[in-house]
Structure formats: C-alpha cells, structure tokens
Amino acid sequence: MFVEVALITLLRQLILIPVEGDTGHSGAWQGLGFYWMIIAAVLVVGIAYYLVSRRN
C-alpha cells in the first residue's frame, strides 16, 4: 500500500508541475531537470510496485 501511495503522489506532482508554472511561482519546481527527476522516480516506484505485486 505504501508503494501505491508513493506512486500516486509522484504522479500528482507530475501533473501539477505545468499548472504551478502558469501561476508565476518560481523556485525548486522550475526547470526541466526537476521534471525528468520526477519521471525517473515514477518509473522506479512503478517497477517496485510491479515487483511487489507480482510476488504476491
């Protein structure tokens, strides 16, 4: 269940990055590097979820 919550949280961040950019907020969310880091985290957590669910 923890892996599912982590995956949902990361996907939510991935969706909100472009929306937060439109409001004029700047900071840690700005930049293409952070966007790719979130995508990489989604992939890692997704693989972990697949391995855990396959084992059960």
| pLDDT score, position 15 | 80
Tokens of 30: 């700005």
| pLDDT score, position 30 | 59
Q: At residue 27, what are phi and psi to the nearest 5 degrees?
A: 140, -140
| pLDDT score, position 14 | 78
Instruction: Map out the domains of the chain as residue ranges.
Output: 2-55
Using alpha carbons, select from 3, 2, 10 the residue that is nearest to residue 47. 3
| pLDDT score, position 35 | 80
H-only helix segments in the chain: 2-22, 32-55
Q: How far apart are CA 47 and CA 5, in angstroms?
A: 14
Q: How far apart are CA 6 and CA 46, in angstroms?
A: 9
| pLDDT score, position 12 | 85
Kindly give the parts of the chain with pLDDT less than 70. Answer: 18-31, 56
